[in-house]
Amino acid sequence: MSARRHPSEERLLAFEAGTLSAPEAVVVATHLALQPQTRAWAHLAQAVGGVVLEGLEPSALEDDAFETVLRRLDSVEPEDGHAPVSPRTSDQSLPAPLRDFELGPWRWAGPGVHVRNVLGPRDGDCRVILLRIAPGQSAPRHTHTGVELTCVIEGAYATEDGVFEPGDFEEADPKVLHQPRVVSDIPCLCVAALDGQIVLPGRLGKLLAPFVRL
């Protein structure tokens, strides 16, 4: 899978339609806050989708469709932790989409690598984390059990696919094996939507896996 500096068209469409999972939406929103020019592509994709829908033949609804929707709305229970919390518990130096979420403590995830949870946006095993890597340091070489979406907030890192700088967006899946290395003079701060856990290859990776959990 080749690197992308912006979200795929499919994810932008889902974001605009409000159907993207909460964790992925936070990362896409952060990218748009740092690179608002990407939103033009999202609007274009949405417009194209609207034209396609206009060309479809309408389908008849069931007689009790309205009552069915109302029953479903009444049965929905609010999920704890998805609403933004008081800004007093957040970091106001972060991009706007992240400022109102409560943050967990920084914890060690490898030499020069620290991670903290962004509390609230979650969808099954998919959650949002902040990742901070010191200058000259690398994250462990890894792949993924699910999809990982990453947006750079500060600093820069490099992989085999090139350099990712503030606002750049990367999508990685189980087919991607990479080792992000910080190439900036300041720590690289990223926000990521992580589905499942990272997978460290090899015998050494299996030994380190219990200690390097994101």
pLDDT in 10s for each residue of the chain, 214 residues: 334 588 988 899 899 889 999 999 999 999 999 998 887 766 665 666 555 445 556 656 566 655 554 454 444 443 444 344 433 456 889 999 999 899 999 998 888 989 999 998 888 888 999 999 999 998 777 666 678 899 999 999 998 888 999 999 998 875 766 678 999 999 999 999 988 666 666 544 444 444 445 5
Ordered DSSP codes for 28-91: HHHHHHH-GGGHHHHHHHHHHHHHHHHTSPP-PPPTTHHHHHHHHHHHPPPPTT-S---GGGS-
- Residue 60 lies inside a defined structural domain of this protein: no
- Residue 86 lies inside a defined structural domain of this protein: no
- Residue 74 lies inside a defined structural domain of this protein: no
Decide: pTM greater than 0.75: no
- Residue 127 lies inside a defined structural domain of this protein: yes
Query: How confident is the model at residue 4, as a pLDDT?
Result: 55
- Residue 59 lies inside a defined structural domain of this protein: no
How would you classify residue 110: left for phi > 0, otherwise alpha for psi between -120 and 50, otherwise beta? Answer: left
Cα separation, 128 vs 153, whole angstroms: 14
3-state secondary structure of 16: helix
H/E run at residue 120: strand 113-123
- Residue 203 lies inside a defined structural domain of this protein: yes
- Residue 197 lies inside a defined structural domain of this protein: yes
Query: How confident is the model at residue 214, as a pLDDT?
Result: 57
Provide the CATH number for the domain around residue 181.
2.60.120.10
- Residue 141 lies inside a defined structural domain of this protein: yes
Query: What residue numbers bound the domain in which 24 lies?
Result: 1-54+91-214
Cα separation, 64 vs 82, whole angstroms: 31
- The number of folded domains in the chain is 1
